[in-house]
Amino acid sequence: MARVHEGKLDGKGLKAALVVSRFNSFITSKLLEGAADCLLRHGVKDEDMDVFMVPGAWEIPATAAGLAGSGGFDLVICLGAVIRGETPHFDQVAGETARGIGRVGMEAKVPVIYGIVTADTVEQAVDRAGAKGGNRGFDAAMTGLEMVSLYRKIAGLGKQASGKGKP
């Protein structure tokens, strides 16, 4: 039987950085509430969460890169909202933000989580920020907790394979 490896949802002792855009703050403030709620419920201490506000989604990837490489955090959660109805250059902002966060995540040693709401209308965005469709911030934080745990398991397997860890 194959071995299955999965992360646990345990935030005890974790330090989390949350990068939050002020653009569409009526949405992003709800995403932040959802993410913080999730982290607190899973054992992350309030004093171990740091929130970094940026002007817009465009600024999120570079900020996340700095935080992920700082060595001060176990995970980085990116929260923003890009709404097509309000954004003539929706595709550029949404596309580059997604690509940027993805690239930062590939290069980082800690999980960098994509918690950006992209929506055609304000109503859709509101739905995804805690109204009808759940809260994308909460979901992003859950993903972050799981991935921290999985990365640690993978690192443990690596040490074991190279003979540096416990058998």
Concerning whether 89 is annotated as a catalytic residue, the answer is: yes
Rg, the chain, Cα only: 17
According to the binding rule CB under 6 A, does residue 83 interact with ligand INI? yes
Task: Tell me which of 61, 80, 105, 144 binds ligand INI, using CB under 6 A.
Answer: 80
According to the binding rule CB under 6 A, does residue 82 interact with ligand INI? yes
Say if CB 20 and CB 52 are below 8 A apart: yes
- The CB-of-144 to ligand INI minimum distance in angstroms stands at 20
Say if CB 113 and CB 76 are below 8 A apart: yes
SS3 91: helix
Task: Tell me which of 11, 17, 20, 23 binds ligand INI, using CB under 6 A.
Answer: 23
How far from the centroid of its chain's Cα atoms is residue 45's Cα? 17
Interface residues with ligand INI (CB under 6 A) are: 21, 23-24, 55-59, 80-83, 86-87, 93
Active centre residues (catalytic): 89
